Structure 1
Amino acid sequence: MASLRVVDRVVDGLRAAGPEQTAVARELFWLGAYAGEVFVRRAGAEWVDLDPGHQKLFGQLVGVRMPDGRAWNPIGKVANRFAAGPEESVQQMYFLLHGRLAVPALAGR
């Protein structure tokens, strides 16, 4: 989960370079997918196809669902970090996740 700080910093670096968000949309998507996978492996989330209401709210087709049933949008959070800057933190989002499970560290990772 500490790698989510790196995600924030990479996004900040992309932002500082000054491109339009559309020019780095692919990179932002993959950074968001990486963040979502951290949520899956470290917090007990699962990838889900979002229902139409969540799709409209998040602007995404997929997200992660926590064990307590709440849906989260790590892909959108990364895009928000790019657009808004440091007040939108992927790492902080992880710490705010409701219903996190304590998932033991994977051996050798």
Structure 2
Amino acid sequence: MTEHSDMGAATDGGLLATDLGPRLFGVGCYVGETIRLGLGGVWEADDADPESELNVRLRLPDGSVIWPVQRVAKRFQNGPEDSVVAYAVFLGLDVPTHAEPHAGTTKRGWGFLRRR
């Protein structure tokens, strides 16, 4: 996110420079699914909500509810103060402090996305 945006503006030529909404949605879903796989939970959405893509939520096993897509949008808008890593750690996910690129990762700047 740091390399591809600056306080609510996409970096020219970066991965967020085009299709911003769908890309933030995708990253938010990735974050949420990573949390769901680590902590458990179930996705919920209201089909009647015209902003359901932004308001999709994850209900955790303890009954708490989080909104990962909104969190990613806030990170884009506000910068590092709304860290997604801090968010995951606060929720109890074990997050490495520094991740080395994995074999088979893309060189497009989002090394945490692995090809399968």
TM-score by length of 1: 0.63
Aligned to 2:36: 40
Aligned to 2:60: 66
Aligned length: 87
CA-based RMSD: 3.2
For structure 1, the 5+ residue unaligned runs are 1-10, 103-109
Aligned: 1:89 with 2:89: no
- What secondary structure, in the 3-state scheme, does the structure 1 residue paired with 2:62 have? coil
Change (3 A) 1:77 1:33: same
Look at both structures and tell me which one has the larger radius of gyration over its CA atoms: 2
For structure 2, the 5+ residue unaligned runs are 95-116
Higher relative contact order (CA 8 A, sep 6+): 1
Runs of 4 or more, structure 1, over 4 Å off, are 18-23
Contact 2:40/2:61 (8 A) holds in 1: yes
Distance in 2 (CA, whole Å) between partners of 1:80 and 1:21 is 17
TM-score by length of 2: 0.60
Judging by fraction of residues, say which structure has more helix. 1
Alignment of 1:1-109 (within 5 A): 11-16=1-6, 17=11, 23-49=19-45, 60-97=54-91
Q: How much identity, in percent, do the aligned residues show?
A: 31
